[in-house]
């Protein structure tokens, strides 16, 4: 490998070298047998691009608009927790990279930099991830702080009534740092004698009773658009429409929650069909190449989110590494669009890919 990585996989290798085993396993690992973790990547390989030729692709425009905000490409930074475990500058470095690349950043509820620190660091468009705690006043306070500090949307993580069983964290006795956002409100210091203190903290804090009827409570405490993250089925997509949210995110939490759920790319089309373009559908899970971004857009996503690749870039080379990850994916997407005969993201259609569904129909 040369000094300068040329793809996400090489950045992951550098991150593995740079990070203590406990932290690398935390960022890279999935739940239980890690079946879904592997499938999130492998399912992309079963989708084939169907290119068109002899189209003028001398000018490629990757820009798009998400919830009214112009962005340089349909690539967003997913909210991932505790960036200071990857690099001392943490989420501030990530936010600066997002601003430099003109993409939207998602800030984790479990960030190691405060909402205010990230907001004051740069002019990136930022969305805020929300977990709902048993003490709902804490969650409400975080939403208020995000709104006051210029965040543009709330991403409700809806697939975590309890934390998934992440066996690497249990074996490593993963220790979560005290999070500055919660100073004076809640402590992450819990009994971790049986394994991960992160799991113990989540069990003590997360509200497993939160349900569809409680979306009304969330809408009552903020004027920000609300996106539901964790939608994997047609039924839940329809429920999201019924409760009046502003978008859905097709996600299996990076394969860190329930194992043996579908790879996100394999259910994206079902969700897209259910919402019928009435609200945006964002995609999360397994993006490692510009061709992956192209495939997700072809199947119907309005934009994709990248999580682990950002952390790998951060761990390897700080803010510069995050910028390079975003730039590499943008460059790969631009090349894919040119070679497939698409000059704008709106040109990317379902006719540009073949999936397992198409193969099945052909056999019928």
3-class DSSP state of 71: strand
Q: Are 311 and 28 in contact (CB under 8 A)?
A: no
Q: Alpha helices, DSSP H only, in the chain?
A: 8-18, 21-28, 35-45, 90-101, 115-121, 136-148, 167-172, 197-205, 215-220, 234-243, 264-275, 290-299, 308-340, 356-363
Please indicate whether residue 360 is annotated as part of the active site.
Answer: no
Given the residues 35, 83, 87, 253, the one annotated as active site = 253
- At residue 317, what are phi and psi to the nearest 5 degrees? -145, 25
Q: Which two tokens stand for residue 56?
A: 């003028």
Structure token digits, residue 320: 């510069």
The token duo for 235 is: 């039924």
Rounded to whole angstroms, how far apart are CA atoms 49 and 294?
9
Helix (H, G, I), strand (E, B) or coil at 345: helix
Query: What single DSSP character describes residue 133?
Result: B
3-state helix, strand, coil in the chain (%, to 5): 50, 15, 40
CA distance 62 to 71: 9
Place of tokens 């927790």: 81
CA torsion sign for 143, 149, 154, 160 is negative
Write out the catalytic residue numbers.
253
């Amino acid at each position: 490998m040369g000094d300068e990585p040329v793809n996400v996989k090489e950045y992951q290798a550098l991150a593995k070298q740079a990070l203590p085993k406990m932290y690398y396993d935390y960022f890279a690992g999935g739940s239980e047998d890690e079946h879904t973790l592997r499938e999130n990547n492998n399912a992309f390989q079963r989708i084939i691009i169907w290119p068109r030729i002899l189209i003028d692709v001398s000018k490629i425009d990757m820009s798009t608009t998400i919830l009214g905000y112009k962005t340089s490409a349909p690539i967003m930074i997913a909210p991932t927790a505790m960036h200071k475990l990857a690099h001392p500058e943490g989420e501030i470095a990530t936010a600066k990279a997002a601003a430099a690349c003109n993409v939207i950043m998602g800030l984790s509820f479990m960030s190691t930099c405060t909402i205010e620190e990230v907001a004051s660091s740069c002019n990136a468009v930022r969305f805020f991830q929300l977990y709902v705690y048993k003490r709902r006043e804490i969650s409400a306070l975080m939403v208020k702080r995000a709104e006051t500090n210029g965040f543009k949307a709330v991403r409700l993580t809806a697939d975590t009534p309890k934390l998934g069983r992440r066996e690497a964290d249990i074996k490593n006795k993963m220790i979560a740092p005290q999070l500055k956002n919660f100073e004076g409100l809640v402590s992450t210091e819990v009994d971790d004698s049986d394994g991960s203190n992160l799991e113990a903290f989540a069990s003590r804090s997360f509200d497993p009773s939160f349900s569809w009827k409680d979306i009304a409570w969330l809408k009552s405490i903020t004027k920000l658009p609300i996106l539901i993250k964790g939608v994997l089925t047609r039924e839940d997509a329809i429920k999201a429409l019924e409760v009046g949210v502003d978008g859905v995110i097709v996600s299996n939490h990076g394969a860190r929650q329930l194992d043996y759920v579908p790879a996100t790319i394999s259910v994206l089309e079902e969700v897209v069909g259910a919402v019928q373009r009435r609200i945006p559908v964002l995609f999360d899970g397994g993006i490692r190449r510009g061709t992956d971004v192209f495939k997700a857009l072809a199947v119907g996503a309005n934009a994709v989110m990248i999580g682990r690749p950002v952390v790998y870039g951060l761990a390897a080379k700080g803010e510069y590494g995050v910028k390079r990850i975003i730039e590499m994916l943008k460059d790969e997407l631009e090349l894919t669009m040119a070679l497939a005969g698409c000059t704008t993201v709106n040109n990317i259609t379902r006719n540009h890919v073949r999936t397992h569904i198409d193969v099945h129909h052909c056999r019928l």
